[in-house]
Every structure is written in C-alpha cells, then in structure tokens.
Homo-oligomer: A and B are copies of this chain.
Amino acid sequence: MSELAVRAEKLDGADELAPLKSRFVLDGAVYLDGNSLGALPAHVPGRVEDVVRRQWGELRIRSWEESGWWTAPERIGDRIAPLVGAAPGQIVVGDSTSVNVFKALVAAVRMADEGRDEILVDATTFPTDGYIAASAARLTGRTLRAVTPAEVPAALGARTAAVLLNHVDYRTGRLHDLPALTAAVHAAGALAVWDLCHSAGALPVGLDEHGVDLAVGCTYKYLNGGPGAPAYLYVRSDLQDRFDSPLPGWNSHADPFGMDPSYAPAPGAPRGRVGTPDILSMLALEAALEVWDGVSVEAVRRKSLALTDFFLECVTACTEPGRVESVTPAAHEERGSQVALRCADAGDVMKRLIDRGVIGDFRHPDVLRFGFTPLYVGFAEVERAARILGEVLG
C-alpha cells in the first residue's frame, strides 16, 4: 500500500460525511462527474414511483391540491434556500437555467435606473448565459459587453444596468469572489445576477448575507435532482415587488384560477413562476433534496477542499512533471469543487479513464474535468483516480 493510499484510508476514517455515501446508488466506478449529473439518491426511485402510480394514476387532478403539486415550486425553493444562504420565500423552482437567466436579467435591467444602457456578462461564462444575455440585451434595447470577472470592477460605471456572473467557472473550476464583486456592482449602482450552477451544494453561497440581487442555478449537479431537473430563481425579498417578469405566465398571476384576462403579478417568490410545473422532474428533485437533512454546507465545503487538495497532491505524485497542468486555482478561496487539468489528447485520455472506471468529463479543447461531490466521494477514490490517471498517461 502506497503512502498516499494509507493517507487516504486515514482521511476516510476521519471523514464525518462518509456515512452519507450510503444515501446514494453507486457502483465500483469512481464517479467524478457529479458536477455534470449528480448520482441517484437511493430513496428517489420509490418516491417517483409513488408520484406516478398514486398521485397521477389514482388521485389524478386532485393531486394539484392533495399532493401539493400546485405549491411545489415555492416549497422546493424553500428547501434549496438554506443551501445557498437564503431565507425562505425568495426562491422558486421551475424551467431551465437558461430560461431563468432570461427572467432574472430582463427583470434586473427593468429594476435599474432608466439611463443605464449596458449589461456586463462574464466573458468566460458557460455559453448559454452569454447567448441569453445577448437576447435580453437585444429585447430591452441595451448593449451587452463581455468582460472577465477580473475586469468587472474597472468596467462598471454609470452606464451599467446589470452584471451577470458565474460563481464558479464551469471549465476551470475557479471560484469568483461573490461578496467583493457584488459590492463593486452595488457601488456602481447596478444589479448583480449570479449563476450558481457550479457552486450550489458544493460550498456556502451566502446570497442574503452578501446582498445578491438575483440568482439562478441548476439542480442536477451538486444537488442531485436528476437529469434536466428544474432550475431555480432567487429574487431578494425587497426586490420582489419590482420583479417585472418577461415571462408572466398564468402560474405567476395573483389569482391564477380567476382566469382574469388582465395580468396582475403574485406577490413573493411565485412571481417568478411561468407555466404549469413539470411535476415528475420537480418531485424527484424534492425527494433528492432530502439527502441534505442534517448536512452542513460548511462541512461539505471543508471536505470538498480536502478532496481537491488531496487530488492535486496525488496527481503530482502519480504523473510525470509537465504531463498535466492544473488550470484550477491552488488558493482555496479561488477554488470551487472541481479540478480541471489541461492535458494533451485530453479527449482520448478521458475515454481511457472512463474505460478504467474513473468517470470525469472532457471539455473542449484540452481539459480533463473532475468534479468532487463531498456527499459521496471519498479519499480512497481520489487516490485511485489519480493513480489510474498516472497509468493512463504512461
């Protein structure tokens, strides 16, 4: 047994989160792709079966009331809230991340002072945010400017209406400074919209504490909600009355069953709803969130950093110098819960890793991406992944 394997065993023995692994369906593989699709929580299949067979099959339309279908978007939003540092009543679940970026950004522009004609967007963003921001700018008659998060403070000014940023960079795993950037955006008189896809469930976000204006995120990565599980929208409570949705569907009406031909927005988080919620996907997510019962996000963050630290150390020990290069920051305050390694032939290397039971993913053009979900990844797996990477790289 190598020194690293011995250390891994000790780290696993001391890991207070290790018992959580039993809440998931896992196999012999080392699953380091929870930042793409979280693993299946073990109790979810039974719950989905109940939703399908009893709630839909037997109760049918009665389930809109009796099974709590109608209120699911805001109820599940409140379940996500503590994971991102939000008080209840500010998050609503539904639609995709892209659609929620659209709602949030158009609404932010409408909240901004009238003369402000520019939207800033993270130039390194996951592409959909940039595409949707361009559409939001076009439809609201604003100019879109792409800048890196580091350039944001200098780019802010009297023209800035809103800024759309990613908390963690999907490719490099870099964690951006949400408190400082939000403060800078506010100092310039603009609104900050954050995309939490790669941070929620992996590290503390502190939406309320840091005064974030609006935020969106997906639920199928570190929140393990299932493939394409609905996304969520956060609107800070004191901004909700000014939230003017570009997608004012009937579910966001103050009296949705009044069937009023004229629109009157609901108060609170439900104002962010649009159409009829996709109940099967939504209630699978609700069940999946139960794995968080009794789990502290701070403990998750501590383990996440220990896992990525140990992975970087093992990779250094197991690979020839220069064969891979981490593009993920070494500093803890700049690191999310993934490690991205630049590597020649990354696409081919990832295929061979997967054949050997180490599941990460490849991001064009040359990045091996490994996500570490502290709820179900342990240190022995980290050591094994790095060791097999070393073998694959020869």
Contact = CB atoms under 8 A, between A and B. Distances in A.
Interface of A: 25, 27, 31, 33, 36-37, 39-40, 44-45, 48-49, 52-53, 55-58, 60-61, 63-64, 69, 95-99, 102, 106, 123, 125-128, 130-132, 134-135, 139-140, 146, 171, 218, 220, 226-231, 245-251, 253, 257-261, 263, 274-282, 284, 359, 361, 363-364
Given A126-B250, A249-B132, A250-B128, A56 B261 contact: no
B263 A134 contact: yes
B60 A359 contact: yes
A22 B95 CA distance: 34
Contacts of A140: 139
14 contacts: A45-B57, A52-B284, A96-B275, A128-B251, A128-B275, A134-B248, A135-B248, A218-B276, A228-B277, A228-B280, A228-B282, A230-B278, A278-B281, A281-B281
Contacts of A63: 227
Contacts of A260: 127
Nearest to A258: B364
A97 B276 contact: yes
Given A250-B127, A275-B231, A57 B40 contact: yes
Contacts of A279: 226-228, 281
Contacts of A263: 127, 130-131, 134
Contacts of A40: 52-53, 56-57, 60
Contact of A261 (B127, B257, B275, B282): B127
A227 B95 contact: no
A125 B230 CA distance: 27
Nearest to A275: B96
A60 B44 contact: no
A360 to B, nearest CB: 10
Leading 10 A-B pairs by shortest Cβ distance: A96-B275, A98-B249, A98-B275, A227-B279, A128-B250, A40-B57, A278-B281, A228-B278, A139-B139, A131-B263
Given A131-B263, A134-B263, A102 B52 contact: no
Contacts of A134: 248, 263
